[in-house]
């Protein structure tokens, strides 16, 4: 073994982690002593910065996980276990994609995503896609409440290219994860941002609930953007995180914005959802 090295976990599959170092990618196992506390949750996850030691055969071992800046996790509870599944470590931002129409925006799902992000202290950006299909004033009336409480809302169209450069400008040097319901244009936007990217980030093609209840081996992965650096995360648990994570749990808002959000959300968003429901 040679001296320890640092790297970023860019892929996790069936107990193996691919760690990207300054010079290469190393397939790693997790050291036994790091696995000991496993009942409490995943000790190493995609997005973690780690130290590794290298074996003579080119593989490596993860020795240490460096302190996390943020964690997206969900609690899995069963008869005999209570397990914190880390979906993504160190995400710098979450981009929540909804469409202004076709399908109509599911604002309650957006609200849930926002609460999950707030609770994890991860900045959220909202993308209102398919603005080519409606009046600008209509699009703005849908998402204005979110702008009012301080969220960055990007009005976009994968078809016309509106807003695409603005989304792209958010990505360099960051770990970004996308989420949003099926059919809103996540794949189309990724392709508009960078041709071929959507093909790589395959899991995003699954709609909400598509993987519900399945216990298949999940690959979680970060894709490095060739232009400008940064990573887009393909983490299958994102949608179920919003659907299940906050059910039946208490959440005490900590930041000034999230306190404001809770105050305003119950009135403003409820009104918006009601007026939307009346419209369609």
Query: Can you tell me which of 54, 74, 112, 186 binds ligand GTP, judged by CB under 6 A?
Result: 186
Point out which span in 104-112, 138-146, 186-194, 244-252 binds ligand GTP (CB under 6 A): 186-194
10 Å CB burial of residue 164 (0-12, 13-18, 19+) is buried
Q: Which does 218 bind (CB under 5 to 8 A by kind): ligand GTP, Mg ion, none?
A: none
218 binds Mg ion (CB under 5 A): no
Shortest Å distance, C-beta 204 to Mg ion: 5
205 binds ligand GTP (CB under 6 A): yes
Neighbouring residues of 53: CB distance < 8 A, sequence distance ≥ 6: 1, 2, 3, 4, 5, 60, 61, 63
Evaluated on CA atoms 22, 23, 27, 32, the torsion sign reads negative
DSSP state of 131: G
**Can you tell me the distance from the alpha carbon of 145 to that of 21, in angstroms, rounded to the nearest whole number?**
43
Point out which span in 6-14, 114-122, 203-211, 222-230 binds ligand GTP (CB under 6 A): 203-211
**Can you tell me the distance from the alpha carbon of 74 to that of 87, in angstroms, rounded to the nearest whole number?**
7
133 binds ligand GTP (CB under 6 A): yes
149 vs 153 by CB, closer to ligand GTP = 153
Q: How many residues bind Mg ion (CB under 5 A)?
A: 3
54 vs 186 by CB, closer to ligand GTP = 186
Give the CB-nearest residue to ligand GTP: 185
For the segment 164-193, give every residue that binds Mg ion (CB under 5 A): 186-187
70 binds ligand GTP (CB under 6 A): no
Q: Which does 25 bind (CB under 5 to 8 A by kind): Mg ion, ligand GTP, none?
A: none
Question: Phi, psi (5° rounding) for residue 269?
Answer: -70, -40
For the segment 128-157, give every residue that binds Mg ion (CB under 5 A): none
Q: What is the DSSP string of 143-154?
A: HHHHHHTT-EEE
Residue 191 CA, chain-centre distance (Å), reads 18
**Can you tell me the distance from the alpha carbon of 35 to that of 43, in angstroms, rounded to the nearest whole number?**
7
In this structure, are residues 43 and 37 in contact, taking their beta carbons and an 8 Å threshold? yes
For the segment 110-129, give every residue that binds ligand GTP (CB under 6 A): 129
Chain residues that interact with ligand GTP, rule: CB under 6 A: 129-130, 132-133, 157-159, 182-188, 204-205, 207
Chain residues that interact with Mg ion, rule: CB under 5 A: 186-187, 205
């Amino acid at each position: 073994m040679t001296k320890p090295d640092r790297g970023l976990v860019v892929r996790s599959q069936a107990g193996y982690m691919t760690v990207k170092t300054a010079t290469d990618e190393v397939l790693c196992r997790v050291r036994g002593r790091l696995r000991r506390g496993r009942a409490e949750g995943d000790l190493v996850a995609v997005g973690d910065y780690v130290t590794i030691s290298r074996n003579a055969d080119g593989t490596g071992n993860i020795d240490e996980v460096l302190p996390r800046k943020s964690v997206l996790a969900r609690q899995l509870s069963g008869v005999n276990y209570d397990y914190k599944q880390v979906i993504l470590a160190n995400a710098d931002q979450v981009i929540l994609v909804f469409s202004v129409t076709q399908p109509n925006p599911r604002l309650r799902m957006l609200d849930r995503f926002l609460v999950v992000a707030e609770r994890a202290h991860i900045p959220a950006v909202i993308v209102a896609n398919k603005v080519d299909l409606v009046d600008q004033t209509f699009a703005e009336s849908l998402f204005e409440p979110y702008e009012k409480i301080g969220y960055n809302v990007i009005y976009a169209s994968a078809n016309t290219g509106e807003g695409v450069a603005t989304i792209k400008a958010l990505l360099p040097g960051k770990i970004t994860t996308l989420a949003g319901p099926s059919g809103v244009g996540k794949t189309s936007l990724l392709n508009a941002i960078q041709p071929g990217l959507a093909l790589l980030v395959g899991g995003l093609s699954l709609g909400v609930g598509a993987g519900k209840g399945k216990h298949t081996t999940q690959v979680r992965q970060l894709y490095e953007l060739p232009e400008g650096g940064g990573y887009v995360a393909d983490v299958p648990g994102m949608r179920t995180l919003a659907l299940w994570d906050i059910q039946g749990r208490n959440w005490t808002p900590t930041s000034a914005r999230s306190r404001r959000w809770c105050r305003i959300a119950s009135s403003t968003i409820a009104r918006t959802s009601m007026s939307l429901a009346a419209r369609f």
